[in-house]
Structure 1
Amino acid sequence: MAKVGAQQVALHRAKVAFDFAKQGKESDKYVSYVRRLPSLIQTNGLGAALAFVFAKAKFGAEKRGADAEAYGLLYTHVRQWLEEHSILREILRKAYDQLKENREDVNGPDRLTEAIVSLDPRSYRLATQEVLSFLQWLRRFAEGLNPRGAEMVDGEDGERMTSEA
């Protein structure tokens, strides 16, 4: 029975990832960032990786370039997956409720990063595994839908994706 449930979760991940990848398919930068985010998570942790992507997205800036737009789309896709579709929805809702006690606005785009870093260790590991599983599908579809996806080499756009940047 658990196997059927796991299969359904994997199929749902694939469907949502396909829909999201269609939104970013024309952007080589988006595909590149999707490809590199899993290693950034594994190297620095989910919280640091999301903080990096959030910072690069420059939410709230009047003018955002192509890099910021691609990072913003990626951050939004990860956030939407976790908040609306993943098995962690309830855990995040509880984290958001706790954030409400400490700050006025918990509806800003930074709420996901703040909620993730406030999770207990078990939930943090679950969130990390869930995001990595989702990104496997997103990467496959982003590469497949982008005309240059399979030909692209990580880092060919000249920007390094590290938390030190």
Structure 2
Amino acid sequence: MGVNGGEAMETNVKRVGIENGRAAFAFQEVKQAKERLRGSFENYRSYVKKMPSLIQVNGLGQALAFCFQKGKEYKAIYQSLAKWMREQFPDQFSSANQELVEAVVNLSSADYRLWTMEAMALLDWMRKFADGMAKDDAKAAE
């Protein structure tokens, strides 16, 4: 195997590692949201599914501002995104208490696009797990 083959394999291993970490994080966040929100988990699930469209139409900053000012289900999504972004991009936060929306509005254009892609990827995993957990509830109710 040539040098390029090894580099491609290493890049793929890193990508898979990042994706697995993102999936594990999303699973834990959705599971915790389900436990905390109980009766309103269906709303949470619906809002998780709507978030990518909100981001595409309005931009990440506007979508986060919307979540920040909304009720507990949107706030749970906002908090999950904030926790993930803080783990992935700790240098972009000026303090431990800085809000995600504040960090986002101070990003360069390139970083803003990167964060948008990262948020969309995390939300995709959150949607899958929220759908799965809702189906588990439906089966248990039968």
What TM-score results when the alignment is normalised by the length of structure 1?
Answer: 0.70
Q: Structure 1 residue 74 and structure 2 residue 77: aligned?
A: yes
In the alignment, which of 29, 33, 42 is matched to residue 28 of structure 1?
42
Match of 2:16 in 1: 7
Match of 2:107 in 1: 119
In the alignment, which of 64, 72, 86 is matched to residue 50 of structure 1?
64
Structure-2 separation of matches of 1:148 and 1:53: 27
Match of 2:118 in 1: 130
In the alignment, which of 4, 15, 18 is matched to residue 27 of structure 2?
18
Matched positions, count: 124
Match of 2:134 in 1: 146
Contact 1:53–1:72 at 8 Å: present in 2 too? yes
Distance change in 2, residues 1:43/1:149 (3 Å): farther
What TM-score results when the alignment is normalised by the length of structure 2?
Answer: 0.80
Structure-1 separation of matches of 2:108 and 2:137: 37
Contact 1:24–1:31 at 8 Å: present in 2 too? no
State the Cα distance separating 1:147 from its structure 2 match.
3.9
State the Cα distance separating 1:149 from its structure 2 match.
8.3
Structure 1 unmatched ranges of 5 or more: 57-67, 98-105, 151-165
Structure-1 separation of matches of 2:24 and 2:64: 23
Contact 1:82–1:89 at 8 Å: present in 2 too? yes
Give the letter aligned to residue 12 of structure 1.
G
Structure 2 unmatched ranges of 5 or more: 1-9
- The 3-state SS of whatever aligns with 1:70 is helix
State the Cα distance separating 1:146 from its structure 2 match.
1.7
- Structural RMSD (CA): 1.9
Runs of 4+ more than 6 Å apart: none
